[in-house]
Chain A
Amino acid sequence: MRGKCLNMVHELARKDERIVFLGSDLGFGTLKKFREELPERFIMEGINEAHAIGMAAGLAFDGRIVYVNTIATFLTRRCFEQVALDLCLHKADVRLIGNGGGLVYAPLGSTHLAIEDIAIFRALPNMAIVAVADAEEMERMMPQTVDWPGPLYIRLAKGYDPIVSDPAIPFVLGKGMEIRRGTDALILCTGVTLGPAKAAADELAGEGISCSILHMHTVKPFDAELFLDMARGVRAVVSVEEHTVVGGLGGAAAELLAETPFARQPRFKRLGIPDIFPDKYGTQNQLMSRFGIDQKAVTEAVKGLLA
């Protein structure tokens, strides 16, 4: 997914001279071809994220569209004030590409996990947040990032993630994606959790439970209209995200559910990382299972709410 995303930046930059790439001490050889082909628009900064964001803003104020790339947690925790003021306050056309959203860097520990990145950026006016499900969806999404008005955070998954997206459903940045419509429960997901959401819905269908799936790739702006429309027809809503349950996808859903009058209020459950720093290493999948961000947990949550 990361490779696809960065290669798309290169491809888009070939067609649009406004596009600039700015990395922060990325891995050796990253976007080598971009650098060779368009050296004047390839910038590699050091390990100085706060400065890099301000610099990107300065470039964007001149009408450029700047794609910034480094590890997600350093784009969200390290330079929050620069993102808030230099980017969001100015509505700067800067795209923040965050490597390793969620539990990708499980073996590296809490310093490298971006488990509250969505919550951090959700709180910022003018910021948009997108987490696609796989590399193919990334390819459909990236051209739409060029003319997106204002700053945009692109949360990357591990890479070589299973292809679970459906090219037949049009991708529209800024809108939710209705994967299927059911009658009993709604599974709300973002990013790679589309996979377990679909698997759980299939499993539940085999047991006679009909599920809707809403893939909220764009967490902000949150497509409230579609979400509430899909929530109105069911008895249970389960959100599942590779992120803390505080303030992310489930948080956004909870806010809307709590404030919206329903003829019959659906029961609601958030699945995600509890309010802790993960206490184990291992692999991303091991931590996902530990925290109940998988097919099994979704299935059980839906059944539990419907019981």
Chain B
Amino acid sequence: MRQTVCVETQPGGLTPLDDRGRKLRRDVVEIFEHSRRGHVGSTFSLIEIVRVLYDDILRIDPRNPRDPKRDRFILSKGHGCLALYVVLADKGFFPAGELCRFCAYDGILGGHPEAGKVPGVEASTGALGHGLSIGVGMAVSARMDKRDSRVYVAMGDGEINEGSVWEAALSAGNRGLDNLWAIVDYNKQQSYDTTFEVQNLEPLADKWRAFGFAVTEVDGHDLRALREAFKKPLEPGKPTCVICHTVKGKGYVPSENNLAWHHKSKFTDEDMAGLRAAFPLKEGA
């Protein structure tokens, strides 16, 4: 039987956005003003996850983004890059003026993030199922150096259809990498249909547990719950998996759980008017 996802009843569906949550979404809308394209749903479901990491968790210095002692964040679901770009710009990794050149010929911000082009981006991603293996390598590297660096890898729910994710999970679990976090942006929508219809992941928490992870499930738009899940390993000697129940397109009603808003290659004037109205340039305007 077909399973549908209802915003009102799903975790995170009714979680309100705060001013910063709206501001970051507004920054994304400003990017759309110039690019008229981008992954809307994937970005809006991810913003709280990325924001909490950069605001409260990661030990990083935008003035010294290659500091060996830093924590690492890999956005394995590279198509959610707009969430990362607005936060990196907000933190000062690069001038905010770059945002208006998203996907421009001579810009540094492509439709998927590239290390070496974008300060603060640890790994070039976009092809799915690569980030967790890279994260395992970084976590092992930190151990070799006896550094307390932590490695956070954010993946999409559709992404974890990829077999390489589970190769990496097996390795991380067997190595007991408690300096590694596998974060799943579980918005229950992939490109074609819901995850239940295309490739059901349930029982998802049990799968990660079976691979040797300590698992917690949180509302992926609840800032306090996210902070709690990221601040220390759930269990010593085990990597942590945080399953973040999110709403695809969170915060803009027409895009919420709407597969048509997964990716837009051409926003209409009506689309833009709606987005502008939802996230006005000045609060209350």
Q: A-side interface residues toward B, CB under 8 Å?
A: 20, 40-41, 43, 45-46, 48, 50-64, 81-82, 85-86, 89-90
Neighbouring A residues of B130 by C-beta, 8 Å: 54, 81-82, 85-86
Residue pair A55, B116 in contact (C-beta under 8 Å): no
Q: B164 to A54, Cβ gap below 8 A? A: yes
| Contact residues of B: prevailing secondary structure | helix
Of the A-B pairs whose beta carbons lie under 8 Å apart in the complex, a sample of 18, sorted by A's number, is A45-B171, A46-B167, A46-B171, A50-B133, A50-B163, A51-B170, A53-B133, A54-B136, A55-B168, A57-B133, A58-B140, A59-B141, A61-B141, A62-B141, A63-B68, A64-B141, A86-B133, A90-B124
Q: A54–B140 Cα gap in the complex (Å)?
A: 12
With the chains together, A89 CA to B113 CA distance in Å? 12
On whether the beta carbons of A90 and B170 are closer than 8 Å, the reply is: no
The reply to whether B68 and A62 contact each other, CB–CB distance below 8 Å, is: yes
Minimal beta-carbon separation of B161 from chain A (angstroms)? 14
Partner of B136, one of A51, A62, A63, A89: A51
Of the candidates A48, A59, A85, the one whose C-beta lies within 8 Å of that of B137 is: A59
Q: Which residues of A contact B168 (CB under 8 A)?
A: 48, 51, 54-55
CB interface residues, B 196-251, toward A, < 8 Å: none
CB-contacts of B27-68 with A (<8 A): 68
Given contacts A61-B122, A90-B123, contact A55 B163 (CB under 8 A): no
A81 surroundings in chain B (CB, below 8 A): 127, 130
Asked if B154 is an interface residue, CB under 8 A from chain A, the answer is no
Bound-state Cα–Cα, A263 to B251, Å: 70
Minimum distance in angstroms from A168 CB to a CB of chain B: 41
Q: Determine the interface band of chain B, counting residues with CB < 8 A from chain A.
A: 20 to 34
Residue B13 interfacial (CB < 8 Å): no
**Bound state CA distance, A61 and B134, in angstroms?**
9
Closest to B128 in A: A81
With A48-B170, A90-B115, A90-B116 in contact, is A55–B134 under 8 Å at CB?
yes
In the complex, what residues of A have CB within 8 A of residue B132's CB?
Answer: 54
B158 on interface, CB distance cutoff 8 Å? no
A270 to chain B, nearest CB (A): 33
Given contacts A46-B170, A89-B124, contact A55 B140 (CB under 8 A): yes
Residue of B nearest to A55 (CB): B137
Question: Is B108 an interface position by the 8 A CB rule?
Answer: no
Q: Within the complex, which residue of B134, B141, B163, B170 is in contact with A86, where a contact is CB–CB below 8 Å?
A: B134
CB-CB under 8 A from A41, the residues of chain B are: 144
Q: Which residue of B lies closest to A22 (CB)?
A: B137
